Amino acid sequence: MKVKDIMSSPVITCSEDETVEKAARLIKEHQIGAVVVTRDDEPVGIITGRDMAIKVMAKDLDASKVQVRDAMSSDIVTIDADADLDEATRIFGTKQLRRILVTEDGKLVGILTARELFTRKPKTAKLFAACIPFKAAT
């Protein structure tokens, strides 16, 4: 099975110049966990409800005045739509991610969440666990 077989598409995006309030409305309207942030139609980040809570609400900032670029996570990881699910599992495990952007010929075509992967292919959870670096307590 390939990433393209279980990814979510189309991807909901917003410009980095938009407000956090607008991104929050997109998340609510589409019942999703994150919005991909773009600059000139290219992904430059991702903003989640958690980002909004920590970087805006917890600081008592006005979401209608804070730009998405100031609250987004800019560490995005991509995977090719034709990649197999074991590769996606390794990426989720080694990079400790919840979402991976899916590309085809360099263009954003979807998003894959860890939840989608483990729901559709439950046996991948063991591979995922094996990829997580172990840190001994000191």
Q: Beta-carbon neighbour count of residue 55 at 10 Å? A: 17
pLDDT, tens digit (0-9, with 9 covering 90-100), for 71-124: 999 999 999 999 999 899 889 888 888 999 999 998 999 999 988 888 876 666
- CATH fold, domain 3-131, is CBS-domain (3.10.580)
Q: What is the pTM of this model?
A: 0.83
**Contacts made by residues 124-133, CB under 8 angstroms, sequence distance 24+:** 124/85, 124/86, 124/89, 127/86, 127/89, 127/90, 127/93, 128/89, 128/92, 128/93, 129/93, 130/93, 131/89, 131/90, 131/92, 131/93, 131/94, 132/93, 132/94, 132/96, 133/94
In the three-class reduction of DSSP (H, G, I as helix; E, B as strand; rest coil), residue 42 is classed as strand
The string of pLDDT tens digits covering residues 1-37 is: 899 999 999 999 999 999 999 999 999 999 999 999 9
Task: Please provide residue 127's backbone torsions phi and psi, each rounded to the nearest 5 degrees.
Answer: -65, -40
What contacts 24+ positions apart, CB below 8 Å, involve 23-32? 23/47, 23/52, 23/68, 23/71, 24/49, 24/52, 24/63, 32/8
